[in-house]
Amino acid sequence: MQHKPLADQTIVVTGASSGIGLATARMAASRGARVVLAARSGAALDRIADDIVREGGQAVAVGADVGVRAEVEEIAARAVAAFGGIDTWVNVAGLTIYGPLAEVSEEDHERLMRTNFWGTVNGSLVAVARMNRRGGALINVGSVASDLAFPYQGMYSASKHAVKGFTDALRMELRLTDAPISVTLVKPTSIDTPLPRRARNYMDREPMLPPPVYRAEEVAHAILHAAVHPQRDIVVGGAGKLFVAGKEFAPGAYDHLAGQIAALQKRTMEPRRPEGALHAPQEDDTGHVHGDQPFPVLRTSAYTRASLHPLATASAVVGLGLAAAALLSPGRRGRPH
């Protein structure tokens, strides 16, 4: 399946007020697409949409909570009213919590699942209903946490596992009805966005993402590639693919990395904003694509760029598999349990 050129598409992007969503919306508009931006921060979205229009693009902003089905229906209605239809729908909206599972409140757990999982479900089902006859691309942004678990981000990992299961099942059901809709799951590794600053933080230190960290634009590039040239799954960041392959090869050895992973999620400074943006948007974090990672940020991923071209994918996966086997072999890490 191949879709329209990007310049002929209308693209809906949720979570478009910052990070990957904002990078995707700006990149799509710069390539000629008509963009519908959605997020809880309506005022910030209006400013972003105005900037895109001033630069010669086409954009409309819709303030909406993706965890509420009726508000997602309104996103679709506004897209149709403004541009006549929807060609690609990108579910990016997501939040995280840092802290031991037993210490996180039930209210916080539920809010995270409402955004990360139910927001993806709502967006996907609304998009499919709108594209079922004319065709299009559905792109869900999961994470390497769709395949891995991370200590102190347990519910985030659970939500991304759920997104993967839902996306895979929906893809199969669409095939049963021959719906002309492609379904892609994009799985980024650590990405330089404001996500850690926006997290609900139960830890005793400010959170950060474990290195290596990649630029948000690399994820946006993969998303927009899938909007025209669909692929089933795209991992952004060769390091993420390496750890996924390593866990499959030696899951016990990966479990033994829990201490190192937990340590890499904490900075030395005290937490600045423990509440984060879980229950309400933080306006000073909107409008920003990048975060403030203390490590150097990689501009591109050679693995991801290769995987976007089918003939190169097999050799890239084999190479990473061999590297993962060497990294996590029992001889190097001890006997797996």
Q: Where are the beta strands (DSSP E) in 237-313?
A: 297-298
Q: Give me the sheet containing 58-63, strands edge to edge.
A: 58-63, 34-39, 10-14, 88-91, 136-141, 181-188, 233-236
Structural element, H or E, at residue 28: helix 19-30
Name, in order, each residue with C-beta under 8 angstroms of 267's C-beta and a sequence gap of 6 or more: 205, 206, 207, 208, 294
Respond yes or no: is residue 156 known to be catalytic.
yes
10 Å Cβ neighbour count for 164? 18
Q: Which of 152, 156, 202, 254 is catalytic?
A: 156
DSSP 156-220: HHHHHHHHHHHHHHHHHHHHHTT-SEEEEEEEE-SEESSHHHHSEE-SSS-B-PPSPEEEHHHHH
234 SS3 class: strand
Cα–Cα dist 282/278, whole Å: 9
Element housing 140 (H / E): strand 136-141
Quick one: tokens of 280? 């309400």
Q: What one-letter code names the amino acid at 205?
A: R
Distance CA(199)–CA(112), nearest Å, equals 10
Q: Measured in Å, how far apart are the chain's first and last C-alpha atoms?
A: 43
CA distance 13 to 35: 7
The residues assigned a catalytic role are 156
